[in-house]
């Protein structure tokens, strides 16, 4: 039984789904106490609806973008997607970098016109990478992740009591936002003994610029990787 609390910093809907998956796969985690502290809010943006028939493929690297996409409008246009919740996508990959490589391989014999539906902030310049491979990429920014104004007072009190054992970060942006808020709440000195569980080495490297903590990276940059990370460090 893990006696301290684990903070989940994902947007609320994703956080609850992740914890449900955790407790399904790892029975011992049913005894854990999870704290939902979303530090980013997902805001849909208005954009001109393109003519999907003009494109040889549609690229989606975020589940948020996928949620805002009306799949009925795509029809027979191939979908290239990051994540497992892509339905009948032609190609699914674990990361944007992997997806970029697989798209280049898939379109090796043609110069394609592609549509990239994305958020305001991305970790990989997909359009530039595919343009260098000879493809034409149109982009539509259809959502943005907006940081919250402050951490909840109840969470700050739990840090002060020493109740927090681990924090999860699924992106560098969420880690940056969380630590900005933690500085404002004056709880950074209370975090050195807390386990920081990160989706990738990129996030771990950022964490180490902020504090000298026990930060760990998932073996794969996805939900399954984070589940294994929690299983390893929180049981």
Looking at residues 156-185, what average pLDDT do you find?
Answer: 95
- pLDDT above 70 coverage of the chain, percent: 94
Spatial distance between the Cα atoms of 207 and 141, rounded to a whole number of angstroms: 28
Residue 1, pLDDT > 60, answer no
Which tokens sit at 127?
């359009």
Which carries the bigger pLDDT value, residue 48 or residue 42?
42
pLDDT of residue 27: 67
Integer CA distances (angstroms), 91 to 116, 131, 180, 195, in order: 14, 19, 37, 35
pLDDT of 101 above 70: yes
Place of tokens 């902030």: 121
What percent of the chain stands above pLDDT 90?
52
Count Cβ neighbours within 10 Å for each residue of 58-68 and write b for 16 or more, e otherwise.
Answer: bbbbbbbbbeb
Note the pLDDT tens digit of each residue in 112-156. 999 999 998 887 899 999 999 999 999 999 999 899 999 999 999
Other beta carbons less than 10 A from residue 18's beta carbon: 19
pTM listed for this prediction: 0.82
**Mean pLDDT calculated for residue range 103-116:** 92
Does residue 167 surpass a pLDDT of 80? yes
Q: What is the mean pLDDT of residues 53-61?
A: 91
- For residue 207, the model assigns a pLDDT of 95
Tokens of 28: 């011992």
- pLDDT tens for each residue of 19-28: 888 888 776 6
Helix (H, G, I), strand (E, B) or coil at 125: coil
Q: First-to-last CA distance in the chain?
A: 7
Q: How confident is the model at residue 197 (pLDDT cuts 50, 70, 90)?
A: very high
Q: How many CA atoms lie within 13 A of 224 on its CB side?
A: 6
Q: What is the pLDDT of residue 161?
A: 94
For residue 158, the model assigns a pLDDT of: 95
Query: Is residue 31's pLDDT more than 90?
Result: no
């Amino acid at each position: 039984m893990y006696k301290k609390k684990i903070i989940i910093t994902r947007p609320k809907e994703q956080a609850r789904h992740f914890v449900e998956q955790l407790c399904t796969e790892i029975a011992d985690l049913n005894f854990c106490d999870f704290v939902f502290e979303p530090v980013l809010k997902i805001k849909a943006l208005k954009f001109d609806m393109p003519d999907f028939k003009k494109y040889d493929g549609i690229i989606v690297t975020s589940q948020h973008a996928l949620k805002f996409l009306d799949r009925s409008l795509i029809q027979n246009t191939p979908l290239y997607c990051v994540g497992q919740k892509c339905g009948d996508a032609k190609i699914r990959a674990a990361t944007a970098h992997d997806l970029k490589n697989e798209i280049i391989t898939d379109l090796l014999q043609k110069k394609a016109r592609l549509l990239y539906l994305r958020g305001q902030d991305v970790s990989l310049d997909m359009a530039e990478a595919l343009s260098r491979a000879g493809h034409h990429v149109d982009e539509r920014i259809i959502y943005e992740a907006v940081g919250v104004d402050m951490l909840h007072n109840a969470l700050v009190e739990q840090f002060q009591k020493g109740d927090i054992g681990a924090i999860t970060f699924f992106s560098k942006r969420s880690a940056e936002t969380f630590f900005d808020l933690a500085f404002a709440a004056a709880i950074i000195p209370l975090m050195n003994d807390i386990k920081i569980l990160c989706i990738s080495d990129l996030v771990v490297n950022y964490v180490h610029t902020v504090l000298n903590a026990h930060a760990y990276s998932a073996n794969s940059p996805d939900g399954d990787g984070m589940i294994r990370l929690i299983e390893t460090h929180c049981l």
